């Protein structure tokens, strides 16, 4: 028999620490720790985990994350974290982390491992632009005590903000803005495609694999990135290798994870294989009291994203 568990995804909103900001960090801990306790996840995917230097010029470490989980139910969990592509160290901002109650037996990150970078020459730019994904995707294979392996992918796709073009930085209208917006869409959808192709490789190895793609997709359920990740058209939603969007099982009034200028939108997702979808018993989006990201005052103590949690039966 498989093991029952809770899987959560949470954009924790620039989790950072510095000696000068100790008081503000303690205030964040006072808000975030009860929230993480309420999530009560066995597997937790986090986005926007910053890495800090304990001393000038020292290698970056996850000091803020270590302090956040110390003494909580996540203390001692197995951990996979992303690296700045091409290095053996984390990036300063917007790293990914997967925390697991059970052993993580394999981890890797995807950053143009399947889809090579490509070039495009915008009419408003003087030279071709190389299109690179902003961040890697993070994969972990987890070994529950009973049942099959759990394959988890953690994503944070590029926000729909125009990519600055050379000589047109800061353009908010006109051709440079339009072309920069198109570049942003290419990055977001290209990384969704690379992740989907990796999912297809997992299915090629095991047609009944337990797969979960979690994270901040910076898109809603019927936008191109989520459609690419699903791997099938809506009319073919029952296709054996299509991923199931679990957020659609949350109660309709609570089906949002971000508020922007008064508009409730669902940017954070958990998509799973049919093997996991059949075991899903409940989906929660913890958005009660969520602040509007367009008007929220600094500093942000919690997050402007709501966690999404899926509970699976044995």
The per-residue pLDDT for range 1-54, each reduced to its tens digit, is: 689 999 999 999 999 999 999 999 999 999 999 999 999 999 999 999 999 999
Query: CA quadruple 139, 307, 159, 224: dihedral positive or negative?
Result: positive
Quick one: average pLDDT of 179-197? 95
pLDDT tens per residue across span 254-278: 999 999 999 999 999 999 999 999 9
For residue 288, is pLDDT > 80? yes
pLDDT tens per residue across span 115-169: 999 998 888 667 888 999 999 999 999 999 998 999 999 999 999 999 888 765 5
What's the pLDDT score for residue 124? 66
In angstroms, the CA 43 to CA 195 distance is: 19
Quick one: average pLDDT of 60-67? 98
Query: CA–CA distance from 170 to each of 71, 131, 160, 161, 296 (Å)?
Result: 44, 19, 15, 11, 23
In angstroms, the CA 154 to CA 248 distance is: 19
- The partner residues of 119 in beta bridges, in order of sequence, read 130
Domain locations along the chain: 5-312
- The residue written with tokens 């969520």 in the block is 290
At residue 100 the predicted structure's pLDDT band, cuts being 50, 70 and 90, is: very high
In angstroms, the CA 8 to CA 10 distance is: 7
Q: Please state the φ and ψ torsions of residue 119, each to the nearest 5 degrees.
A: -120, 145
Return the ∠ at Cα 63 (arms to 59 and 67), rounded to 5°. Answer: 165
Count other Cβ atoms within 10 Å, centred on residue 58: 9
What tokens appear for 129 in the block? Answer: 């632009």
Least confident residue range of 40-44, 56-60, 102-106: 56-60
Longest alpha-carbon distance in the chain: 60
Quick one: average pLDDT of 196-200? 98
What's the pLDDT score for residue 148? 93
What's the pLDDT score for residue 123? 83
281 CB-near residues (< 8 Å, 6+ apart) = 311, 312, 313
201 CB-near residues (< 8 Å, 6+ apart) = none
Contact of 8 with 257, CB cutoff 8 Å: no
What's the pLDDT score for residue 122? 82
Answer CATH for 5-312 from 3.30.70.20, 3.40.50.2000, 3.20.20.105, 3.60.10.10 = 3.60.10.10
pLDDT tens per residue across span 217-255: 999 999 999 999 999 877 777 788 999 999 999 999 999
Nearest partner of 49 among 75, 76, 82, judged by Cα: 82
At residue 65 the predicted structure's pLDDT band, cuts being 50, 70 and 90, is: very high
What's the pLDDT score for residue 216? 98
At residue 172 the predicted structure's pLDDT band, cuts being 50, 70 and 90, is: low
For residue 108, is pLDDT > 80? yes
Query: CA–CA distance from 4 to each of 271, 275, 310 (Å)?
Result: 18, 13, 11
């Amino acid at each position: 028999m498989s093991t029952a568990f809770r899987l959560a995804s949470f954009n924790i909103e620039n989790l950072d620490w510095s000696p000068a900001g100790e008081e503000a960090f303690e205030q964040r801990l006072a808000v975030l720790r009860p929230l993480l306790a309420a999530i009560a996840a066995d597997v937790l995917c986090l986005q926007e985990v910053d890495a800090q230097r304990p001393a000038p010029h020292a290698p970056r470490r996850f000091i803020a994350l270590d302090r956040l989980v110390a003494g909580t139910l996540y203390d001692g969990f197995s951990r996979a974290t992303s690296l700045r592509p091409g290095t053996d160290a984390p990036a300063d901002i917007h790293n990914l982390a997967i925390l697991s109650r059970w052993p993580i037996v394999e981890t890797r990150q995807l950053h143009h491992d399947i889809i090579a970078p490509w070039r495009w020459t915008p009419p408003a730019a003087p030279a071709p632009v190389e299109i690179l994904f902003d961040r890697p995707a993070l994969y972990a294979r987890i070994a529950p005590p009973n049942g099959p392996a759990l394959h988890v992918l953690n994503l944070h796709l590029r926000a729909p903000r125009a990519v600055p073009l050379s000589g047109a930085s800061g353009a908010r209208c006109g051709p440079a803005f339009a072309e920069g917006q198109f570049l942003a869409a290419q990055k977001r959808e290209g990384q969704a495609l690379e992740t989907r192709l990796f999912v297809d490789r997992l299915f090629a190895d095991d047609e009944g694999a337990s797969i979960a793609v979690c994270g901040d997709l910076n898109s809603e359920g019927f936008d191109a990135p989520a459609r690419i990740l699903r791997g099938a058209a809506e009319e073919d939603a029952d296709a054996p290798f299509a991923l199931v969007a679990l957020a659609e099982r949350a109660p309709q009034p609570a089906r949002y994870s971000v508020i922007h200028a008064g508009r409730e939108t669902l940017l954070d997702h958990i998509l799973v294989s049919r093997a996991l979808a059949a075991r899903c018993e409940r989906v929660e989006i913890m958005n009660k009291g969520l602040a509007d990201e367009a008007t929220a005052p600094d500093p942000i103590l919690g997050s402007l994203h709501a966690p999404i949690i899926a509970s699976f039966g044995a």
